[in-house]
């Protein structure tokens, strides 16, 4: 970690060593990795990045661990797809989908966990753990296996089957009777007297840095420039803050020109504490009891909520709370137009995008990137009641009778 200076409190600015800690002892603010940008400036270049691996590790100058030790199952460098069909539908001529469902365990969480697991090994932890809304569990257990560590992942008991099985195939899953916020509190208590690396608790300062790679990739894939708009699904707000940080780091280092990006928050109405704060003009999100079909976004007490609200102000962005009954429609619209099957969080993003286009917040020719952060195969429950394929006998007559008329001959 040649460029890491240590950890710094986001609130009071106090410095700490780069240890497995996450809260400031003085003001209880969150700790964040502090880098020596002068030294990064001397090392980083577009050419060097282009010669790097086709994973998030091509940006290792801006990550808090060494690439040589990376726990790498291939996270990052996911497709940025030109979305002409969806764009036509929404009146947006310059629309892109960043398809992070193409990551190894089918969500962007592989990015954060690849970094957190590498750091956990560096700290000589033997057990990797997490409190998850679903996707993080699979990513953590998979990377734990790659690192040959013990894994224990904690999930709310009422999650979709795809999330539970998709994690349990890799490691020890514990289902907790309670919400994600209960699971998170339990994990904090468990962590107090166990030497476990909880990727999103005591590893959080390192873990969250992995999300910056989404910002770097978008800029690189757009030909070394920042888009005008980014639409991001928000749960804790970590991804949202780090995409912004990634774009701005590239700007500061001269890897891209000025960053004039407007950051848009997408939350489901049944759990929208951050969006509500923005809409109501408050700086602090009020905790809510989550009740949404977008279970991956069901965090009622978002750790990075305050910072997400302030980024919407700084970037002249916005926030949308998508009605629950529009989430499935968003998933179907993306599937029908672009051939991408996103999970419920993606439905929230596409419905947000639609509203922003209708409201004129996004202009027809402005370059826009919508983040698809997880796969629809893990949230089949959200759309299965709308899907009813015909069943026919194995005869041409039966096919003609039942199916013809619905497809062109």
Residues in the site for ligand PLP, rule: CB under 6 A?
Answer: 107, 133-136, 233-240, 296-297, 343, 345, 373-374
**Minimal distance in Å, beta carbon 23 to Zn ion?**
8
**Measured from the CB atom, is 44 or 203 closer to ligand PLP?**
203
Told to check if 159 binds Zn ion by CB under 5 A, we report no
Which of 102, 32, 111, 107 has its CA nearest to residue 71?
111
The structure tokens listed for 52 are 């790097």
Told to check if 15 binds Zn ion by CB under 5 A, we report no
Name, in order, each residue with C-beta under 8 angstroms of 243's C-beta and a sequence gap of 6 or more: 211, 212, 214, 215, 218, 230, 232, 263, 371
Which of 167, 166, 224, 189 has its CA nearest to residue 50?
224
Q: Which residues pair with 1 in a beta bridge?
A: none
Radius of gyration in angstroms for the set of CA atoms belonging to the chain, rounded to a whole number:
21
**Measured from the CB atom, is 18 or 112 closer to ligand PLP?**
112
**Minimal distance in Å, beta carbon 266 to ligand PLP?**
9
**Measured from the CB atom, is 103 or 248 closer to ligand PLP?**
103
Q: DSSP secondary-structure letter at 342? A: B
**Minimal distance in Å, beta carbon 97 to Zn ion?**
38
> Torsion angle, CA of 241/246/250/253, rounded to 10 degrees?
80
SS3 label, residue 297: helix
Query: Would you say 374 and 132 are in contact if contact means Cβ atoms under 8 Å apart?
Result: no
**Measured from the CB atom, is 11 or 366 closer to Zn ion?**
11
Q: How far is the C-alpha of 380 from the C-alpha of 390, rounded, in Å?
A: 18
Name, in order, each residue with C-beta under 8 angstroms of 84's C-beta and a sequence gap of 6 or more: 95
**Measured from the CB atom, is 238 or 248 closer to ligand PLP?**
238
Q: How far is the C-alpha of 81 from the C-alpha of 106, rounded, in Å?
A: 16
Give the count of residues interacting with Zn ion (CB under 5 A): 8
Site string for Zn ion, 23-42 (x = CB under 5 A): -x-xx-x-------------
Q: How far is the C-alpha of 176 from the C-alpha of 157, rounded, in Å?
A: 5
Q: Please, what is the angle between helix 238-252 and helix 305-314, to 10°? A: 50
**Measured from the CB atom, is 236 or 351 closer to ligand PLP?**
236
**Measured from the CB atom, is 118 or 133 closer to ligand PLP?**
133
**Measured from the CB atom, is 196 or 240 closer to ligand PLP?**
240
**Measured from the CB atom, is 118 or 238 closer to ligand PLP?**
238
Told to check if 12 binds Zn ion by CB under 5 A, we report yes
The position carrying tokens 């909520």 is 305
Positions in 353-392 near Zn ion (CB under 5 A): none
Q: How far is the C-alpha of 74 from the C-alpha of 113, rounded, in Å?
A: 12
Q: Which does 396 bind (CB under 5 to 8 A by kind): Zn ion, ligand PLP, none?
A: none
**Minimal distance in Å, beta carbon 236 to ligand PLP?**
3
CA angle 163, 166, 168 (to 5 degrees): 105
Q: Near Zn ion by CB under 5 A, which window of 7-15, 127-135, 204-212, 220-228?
A: 7-15
**Minimal distance in Å, beta carbon 32 to Zn ion?**
11
**Minimal distance in Å, beta carbon 365 to ligand PLP?**
28
**Minimal distance in Å, beta carbon 24 to Zn ion?**
3
Q: Which does 24 bind (CB under 5 to 8 A by kind): ligand PLP, Zn ion, none?
A: Zn ion
Positions in 262-281 near Zn ion (CB under 5 A): none
CB atoms within 10 A of CB 357: 20
Q: Which does 345 bind (CB under 5 to 8 A by kind): ligand PLP, Zn ion, none?
A: ligand PLP
Told to check if 11 binds Zn ion by CB under 5 A, we report yes
Residues at the contact surface with Zn ion, assessed by CB under 5 A: 9, 11-12, 14, 24, 26-27, 29
């Amino acid at each position: 970690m040649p460029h890491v200076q240590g950890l710094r409190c986001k609130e009071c600015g106090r410095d700490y060593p780069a240890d497995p800690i996450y809260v400031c002892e003085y003001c209880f603010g969150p700790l964040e990795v502090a880098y020596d940008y002068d030294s990064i400036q001397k090392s980083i270049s577009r050419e060097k990045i282009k010669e790097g691996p086709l994973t998030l590790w091509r940006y290792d100058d801006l990550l808090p661990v060494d690439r040589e030790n990376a726990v790498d199952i291939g996270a990052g460098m996911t497709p940025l797809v030109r979305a002409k069909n969806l764009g036509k539908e929404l009146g947006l001529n310059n629309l892109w989908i960043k398809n992070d469902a193409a990551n190894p365990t089918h969500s962007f969480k592989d990015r954060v966990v690849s970094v957190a697991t590498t750091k956990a090994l560096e700290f000589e932890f033997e057990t990797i753990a997490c409190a998850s809304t679903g996707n993080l569990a699979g990513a953590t257990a998979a990377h734990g296996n790659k690192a040959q560590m013990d894994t224990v992942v904690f999930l709310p008991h009422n999650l979709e089957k795809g999330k539970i099985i998709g994690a349990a195939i890799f490691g020890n899953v514990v289902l907790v009777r309670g919400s994600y916020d209960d699971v998170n509190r339990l994990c904090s208590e468990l962590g107090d007297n166990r030497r476990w690396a909880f990727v999103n608790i005591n590893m959080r300062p390192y873990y969250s840095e992995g999300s910056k790679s989404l910002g770097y990739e978008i800029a690189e894939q757009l030909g070394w420039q920042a888009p005008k708009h980014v639409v991001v699904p928000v749960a804790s707000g970590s991804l949202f803050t780090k995409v912004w940080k990634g774009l701005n780091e590239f700007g500061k280092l001269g890897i891209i020109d000025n960053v004039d990006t407007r950051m848009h928050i997408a939350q489901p109405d049944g759990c929208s504490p951050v969006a509500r704060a923005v809409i109501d003009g408050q700086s602090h999100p009020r905790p809510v009891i989550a009740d949404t079909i977008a279970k991956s976004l069901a965090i009622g007490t978002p750790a990075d909520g305050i910072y997400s609200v302030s980024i919407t102000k700084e970037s002249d962005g916005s926030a949308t709370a998508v009605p629950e009954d529009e989430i499935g429609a968003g998933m179907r619209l993306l599937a029908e137009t672009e051939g991408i099957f996103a999970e419920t969080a993606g439905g929230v993003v596409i419905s947000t995008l639609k509203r922003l286009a209708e409201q004129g917040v996004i202009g027809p020719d402005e370059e826009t990137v919508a983040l698809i952060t997880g796969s629809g195969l893990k949230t089949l429950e959200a759309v299965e009641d709308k899907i009813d394929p015909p069943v026919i006998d194995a005869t041409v007559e039966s096919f003609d009778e039942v199916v013809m008329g619905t497809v062109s001959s």
